[in-house]
Amino acid sequence: MKIGIVCYPTFGGSGVVATELGIALAERGHEVHFITYKQPVRLELISRKIHYHEVSVPDYPLFHYQPYELALSSKLVDMVKLYKIDLLHVHYAIPHAYAGYMAKQILAEEGIHIPMVTTLHGTDITLVGSHPVYKPAVTFSINNSDVVTSVSESLKEDTLRLFDINNDINVVPNFIDVAKYSNPFTDCQRDLMAEKHERIITHISNLRPVKRIDDVIEIFFRIQKEIPSKLLIVGEGPEKEPSEALCRKLGIDDKVIFLGNSSEINKILCFSDLFLLPSEKESFGLAALEAMATGVPVISSNTGGLVEVNEQGFSGFLSDVGDVEDMAKNALKILKDPETLQKFKSQAKQAAMKFDTKNIIPLYESVYENATSKVL
Ligand code: GMT
């Protein structure tokens, strides 16, 4: 099948999922066309089966806001016609589902009936999409997609609660190529980051308020009082500076390393002992799954889809949002004894297996068949 994928190409879970999906589909023989404003960060492998088409928006001084959706719709129309694309799969409702719908309508005028699948990722529903400014357009785009998928049961429930939906929503969870995350390194070079006797605690995100970075630091503050340890914070975002200030205030700035954005996530996870994800909201928590697949147990909040990913007392522990005392207590439970840590590491990996690429990609393939049957 020839599949056109639209996504946000920069750092962020939805772009990562869309890119990994495209790569996995190409490996299964499909022809994949990424149509977006920048080459997706994880798309290193350009092959005969993977194409990238850049959407450029001409700069015109009259426009206060450049009309990206319009440029995207036009590019989708052109690419569908040029490459005879069979299906559009848009990731993140805003504005991709809306632009995809417009492209679909323009193509229909010319007798080309292309199915469109929309995948909801989280903030397009819970944080941004339900804002009154976007809500009518988001509702319309969801209701007019041929098939809608959401990355967790929890996100499906949120969508049905927040919007007036008259379309089915299929849950297709996020996935991971467990083999690829299985510590390819014989030596993780953990001495780059910490002393032999220290535990390494990691957090990876785009450092926005929803990730509650203060809680990450507060949890670590309690851990390091009991166990020699280092905290690695990976990513860039608006919370970085206040977090650095909090570390200085707590007197732990020598134990916290801010690494910025990294393309070496599996190397970082390779030398991590514990992953922290105390988010306010999380439709799935792909970062937690990446950690688990590398054999890193997770201490998280029990919000949204995290309860579908992190298994209480098995791959890690979950606590109420903001309960840093409980999170620190659970972290220490895992870290204090080497045997317990080893047990949680292997259980985390085991729990990640059910989200392995080979189990999830066929679900997307059957979604594509279903969407195609709707336009025939
Ligand atoms: O929250 C992020 O880090 C980015 C955001 C995005 O849209 O790229 O992530 C959302 O989609 C991911 C992939 O499906 C999910 O794993 C994240 O849980 C979700 N983030 C939120 O719901 C806050």
pLDDT given for residue 115 in this prediction = 98
pLDDT, tens only, 21-71: 999 999 999 999 999 999 887 776 667 799 999 999 988 888 888 899 999
* Residue 162, pLDDT above cutoff 70: yes
Q: Which atom of ligand 1 is nearest to the CA of 15?
A: 8
pLDDT given at position 165: 96
pLDDT band at 124 (very low <50, low <70, confident <90, very high): confident
pLDDT-based confidence at 258, cuts 50/70/90? very high
Hey, which of 19, 42, 283 would you mutate to test ligand 1's pocket, going by the most ligand atoms within 8 Å of its Cβ? 283
Average pLDDT, the chain: 94
Q: Quick check: 185 pLDDT over 70? A: no
> pLDDT-derived band of residue 249, with 50, 70 and 90 as boundaries?
very high
pLDDT for 254 beyond 90: yes
Do 42 and 16 touch, CB atoms closer than 8 A? yes
Could you tell me the distance, in angstroms and rounded to a whole number, from the CA of residue 15 to the centre of ligand 1?
A: 9
The residue whose CA is least distant from atom 12 of ligand 1 is 13
Q: What is the mean pLDDT of residues 289-316?
A: 97
* Among the ranges given (56-65, 69-78, 217-226), the one the predictor scored with the smallest mean pLDDT: 56-65
- What single-letter amino acid sits at 7? C
Ligand 1 centre from 298 Cα, in Å? Answer: 17
Mutate to test the pocket of ligand 1, among 42, 121, 279, 306 (most ligand atoms within 8 A of CB): 121
**282 CA: nearest ligand 1 atom:** 22
Which residue's CA is the closest to the ligand 1 atom numbered 5? Answer: 13
Predicted local distance difference test score (pLDDT) of residue 186:
55
Could you tell me which residue, 190 or 99, shows the higher pLDDT? 99
In sequence order, the 6+-apart residues with CB closer than 8 A to the CB of 202 are 231, 232, 233, 234, 268, 269, 272, 274, 275, 276, 291, 296
Ligand 1 and 347: CB distance under 6 A: no
- What average pLDDT does this structure show over 104-113? 97
Look-up: residue for tokens 């040029």? Answer: 82
Ligand 1: nearest atom to the Cα of 127 = 23
CATH superfamily of 178-355: Glycogen Phosphorylase B; (3.40.50.2000)
CATH architecture, range 2-175+357-375: 3-Layer(aba) Sandwich (3.40)
Domain locations along the chain: 2-175+357-375, 178-355
Please check the confidence at residue 184 and state whether its pLDDT lies above 70: no
Q: Are 201 and 232 in contact (CB under 8 A)?
A: yes
* Pocket flag, ligand 1, residue 151 (CB < 6 Å): yes
pLDDT confidence of residue 183: 61
The pTM score is 0.93
- Over residues 291-311, the mean pLDDT reads 97
CA 123: distance to chain centroid?
11
Q: Kindly give the interhelix angle for 286-293 and 13-27, rounded to the nearest 10 degrees.
A: 60
The DSSP secondary structure of 204-217, one letter per residue, reads ES---GGG-HHHHH
Looking at residue 187, its pLDDT comes to 61
| Strand order across the beta sheet in which 50-54 lies | 50-54, 31-36, 2-6, 87-91, 116-120, 147-150, 169-171
